[in-house]
Amino acid sequence: MSRNEDKTNVMRLLERNKIPYKSYNYLDSGAISGKDVIEVLGENPDNVFKTLVTVSKSDNHYVFLVPVSKELDLKLASEVVSEKKIKMLKSKDLLSLTGYTHGGCSPIGMKHKFPTIIDDSAKNFNTIYFSGGKIGYQVELKLDDLSKIIDFRLAHITK
């Protein structure tokens, strides 16, 4: 694993907004799944978050960050965003909607701003890790600093 070799758009946005972060590049590891990523990072699986994009019956989109060790509870998530039902966005629709591919989706720098909810377990950590905007890249930052670049709220959304 190497640090700060290449910059993604996420990293450039953080720097442009003077938000402190750490970046991690694990391209050479072959890690793609959340489990692979936590092994490469050597981090607590509850502290590394995946970015999930959903769509509601009313065609609204929502972004959820949940620990890679857990699953998004679609029923809880629906309640949090006041929708009757939401489902995961199809992978084939992810790039055109967000600008990101599956495995490299970040809550920072999406094509459109969507309501974003982070599992409330994130408040148990000084910093959290999530995708740096490309497969093979992660960023680490404080929730307070993340709130300077995206709007989000914390809620219990995992099972």
* Residue 3 lies inside a defined structural domain of this protein: no
Domains identified in the chain, total number: 1
40 is a domain residue: yes
Residues 6+ apart with CB under 8 A from 32: 103, 135
Q: Which two tokens stand for residue 95?
A: 């790039």
What is the residue range of 25's domain? 9-155
pTM of the model: 0.93
Residue 56 CB coordination number (10 Å): 17
Q: What is the side-by-side order of every strand in the sheet holding 22-25? A: 22-25, 137-141, 128-131
CATH assignment of the domain containing 39: 3.90.960.10
Q: Which residues contact 22 (CB under 8 A, 6 or more apart)?
A: 3, 127, 139, 140, 141
User: pLDDT tens digit string along 39-70?
Assistant: 888 889 999 999 999 999 999 999 999 999 99
1 belongs to a structural domain: no
